[in-house]
Structure 1
Amino acid sequence: MRDAFETLRLDGVSRSFGGHEALAGLDLTIKRGEFIALLGPSGCGKSTALNCLAGLLPLTRGSIWKDEARLDVLPPERRGFGMVFQNYALFPHLSVRHNVAFGLQMRRVPRAELRRRVDEALRLVHLEDQAGKLPGRLSGGQQQRVAIARAVVLEPSLVLMDEPLSNLDAKLRLEMRTEIRRLHQSLGLTTVYVTHDQEEALSLADRLVVLRAGRVQQIGTPEQLHTEPANWHVADFMGYRNLLPLRAGPRRGAGIVVELEGRELVGTPVDGPAPGSEVIAGIRPEDLRIGPAGGTGVPAVVEVVEYQGREVAVEALTAGGVSLNLRSADRPAVGDRITVTVDPRRLLVFPAGDPR
């Protein structure tokens, strides 16, 4: 591993475009061997952060450090990073082997070592039999493997990946996710990975950085963000499809009361919502339960049922016009009257203001 480091530190990294702050004060310390995912919607600043790290964008403010050496003053080619782009960025006139070898040739690596490293990189991504082909003769998944081989063959201290799976179909995305994680672990890579797909981020990363409008919303492990989102924006990205604007009632023990369709629900307060204030109550579809009509829950009518294998996804509408998303092993029919109950341990209650 070239230029190995113990920690990579981003101190207040910011980038503006024409007065618009695309990235504001990003503080992040990455340990050697970590897999970090930058997660958020389009325009949140995640690709800007990656390009600042790569040296493709100069910083407006802040600094980047590899151990005690300052990096943001160096050009991209002197940072020792590998990059995998969304559109693969392969040379169409060069064979797979020559695409992978290109960076080593630019570094004037001796021929014998070059051949050994290219052979090893092709073996790692299972493309030995495709080495003589041009990229245009490969599938999308194979082209992405070439791009990954071209990055890791340089033995970089850090690999940067910018939505590398977004152009692939669902089956290939799953396969490549496994391959990327396998390579990360087997080669002891340090990886920073940009994605808008929360499932992808949860399955790959050791830690996630959720961004919104250029600002960090939360940094934590997949489990922390999945079970303890810091605000309703993070909850939205972590699969809390039911985000209900309500008003907070009184505290009840460690919980807080909210009212939905005349029914009192007790949820877990997050970030100190005050009694009487406007709140967002968040719950995952799998944490709502379907009961028979006339039960003790919130009455609703089934509007949509989607088959998803062992479970169905259900959209139900309450009498007050609130849409609820549920997942269930039971299979109600469109038009069925049901009641919906909530596990209070799973209902999170956030302040309704802008999370920034």
Structure 2
Amino acid sequence: MAANASFKTLRLQQVGRDFGTMNALKDLTLDIQRGEFIALLGPSGCGKSTALNCIAGLLPTTRGSIWLDDKRIDVLPAEDRGFGMVFQNYALFPHMTVRGNVGFGLKMRGVPQAAATPRIEKAIQTVRLESQAHKSPGQLSGGQQQRVAIARAIAIEPPVVLMDEPLSNLDAKLRLEMRQEIRRIHQGLGSITIYVTHDQDEALSLADRIVVLRDGEIRQVGTPEDLYARPAHLDVAEFMGFRNQIPVTLLSAAGQQVEVSAEGVAFQAIAQEPVTGQTAYAAIRPDDLIAVSSDAPGLPATVEAIEYRGRDFFGSARTASGTELFFRSSRRLTAGEPVRLGAQPSTILVYGAS
């Protein structure tokens, strides 16, 4: 089941969307190549769903333009763009069977039944629901209903498939299973998939590139590996799992290699952006901040909470100055116990104070 093979690029050029005086999207510019899986990632209110709805045609843009190769599409109504959409709430018709739901988009496009039937069956086969095709949505599990929604979106053989937090209503086990299915389906389509999520794990596991948004603006675009290891800004680092953000004082710098101090302890780190003043922030993942022996170098703190997560313990602690730290430990600690927390210099990223 291949998407329209004649297109190469979806281009967003300075796309903006205002709601009254609020700028929900600000000059969004991005080129997406055929076959790419793009995740729009960010917290609630960052503009990711607004961007998706503008691409889909469900919201008009206030400024800028959207192009499919040399064809401008932001001036077209949603039904003329030919994009597939998968909603958070599935939006299935309860009175129709799986086949009826999957074929609805083809019917609305006036595709003759003889031509629609093989496309419907192929879409159902792609999402592995052949044995459920005669059932109504009410007879299906949440994960199966989501598969029906995906099959309906791909049955029209769209150049672009848009997904708006499609797994948020599923339990943890089903989310993991559906991630694999969505990636498998995407790879078989040859289309663009644009996927909105606030879950960094989903974005990391699914996307070829991740677009991090904040306040309607693109903060960083990169591969999952790039964003996981080297977020460009402190807010991106926070969203990519760097929960520890420690105020530090810059002692010295030699290129990206810097020495900083916090809580009276000096340590080496890597500067991710220019640090112009003495004050900066060190960002560290909880996995990388480890409880060390009492005589080893590390930040002194007091344990506040600890929990066992299988192989290791994870906890929170607080320094004398009041900074909360999230850390990992190979041994059980108790609340109120003093602890020293350290990390390898390569895992400590430093950002300027904004």
1:69–1:264: structure 2 CA closer, same or farther, 3 Å change rule? same
CA contact 2:256–2:272 (8 Å) conserved in 1: no
Question: Is 1:305 matched with 2:301?
Answer: no
Secondary structure (helix, strand or coil) at the match of 1:296 reads coil
Equivalence for 2:226: 224
Secondary structure (helix, strand or coil) at the match of 1:112 reads helix
CA contact 2:300–2:340 (8 Å) conserved in 1: yes
Equivalence for 1:157: 159
Secondary structure (helix, strand or coil) at the match of 2:58 reads coil
Equivalence for 2:270: 268
Equivalence for 1:96: 98
Distance 1:262 1:79 in 2: 60
Aligned length: 352
The amino acid that maps onto 2:330 is A
Question: Is 1:107 matched with 2:105?
Answer: no
Equivalence for 1:38: 40
Could you list the per-position Cα deviations for residues 42-93 of structure 1 after superposition, in whole angstroms to 9, with x for gaps in the alignment?
0000001001100111111100111111111111111111000001011111
CA contact 1:121–1:152 (8 Å) conserved in 2: yes
Greater Cα shift, 312-321 or 87-96: 312-321
Secondary structure (helix, strand or coil) at the match of 1:285 reads coil
The amino acid that maps onto 1:310 is R
Greater Cα shift, 155-164 or 310-319: 310-319
Distance 2:280 2:111 in 1: 60
Question: Is 1:16 matched with 2:3?
Answer: no
Question: Is 1:117 matched with 2:119?
Answer: yes
* Gaps in structure 1 of 5+ consecutive residues: none
Could you list the per-position Cα deviations for residues 123-146 of structure 1 after superposition, in whole angstroms to 9, with x for gaps in the alignment?
111211211221122111111111
The amino acid that maps onto 1:23 is L
The amino acid that maps onto 2:263 is E
1:131–1:253: structure 2 CA closer, same or farther, 3 Å change rule? closer
Could you list the per-position Cα deviations for residues 198-228 of structure 1 after superposition, in whole angstroms to 9, with x for gaps in the alignment?
0100000000000000011000000111111
* Gaps in structure 2 of 5+ consecutive residues: none
Equivalence for 2:195: 193
Q: Post-superposition shift, 1:97?
A: 0.9
Give the share of equivalent positions with the same residue, in percent: 57
Secondary structure (helix, strand or coil) at the match of 1:273 reads coil
CA contact 1:3–1:156 (8 Å) conserved in 2: no
Runs of 4+ in 1 over 6 A off after TM superposition: none
Equivalence for 1:70: 72
The amino acid that maps onto 1:289 is I
Equivalence for 1:343: 344
1:200-239 mapped onto 2 (5 Å cutoff) = 200-239=202-241
Q: RMSD value over aligned CA atoms?
A: 1.5
TM-score by length of 2: 0.96
Equivalence for 1:143: 145
Q: Post-superposition shift, 1:111?
A: 1.9
Q: Post-superposition shift, 1:257?
A: 2.5
CA contact 2:16–2:25 (8 Å) conserved in 1: yes
2:183 to 176, 181, 184: 181
Distance 1:194 1:180 in 2: 13
TM-score by length of 1: 0.95
Q: Post-superposition shift, 1:3?
A: 6.5
The amino acid that maps onto 2:259 is V
Distance 1:3 1:60 in 2: 30
Secondary structure (helix, strand or coil) at the match of 1:264 reads strand
CA contact 1:13–1:64 (8 Å) conserved in 2: yes
Greater Cα shift, 39-48 or 2-11: 2-11
Equivalence for 1:285: 286
Secondary structure (helix, strand or coil) at the match of 1:286 reads coil
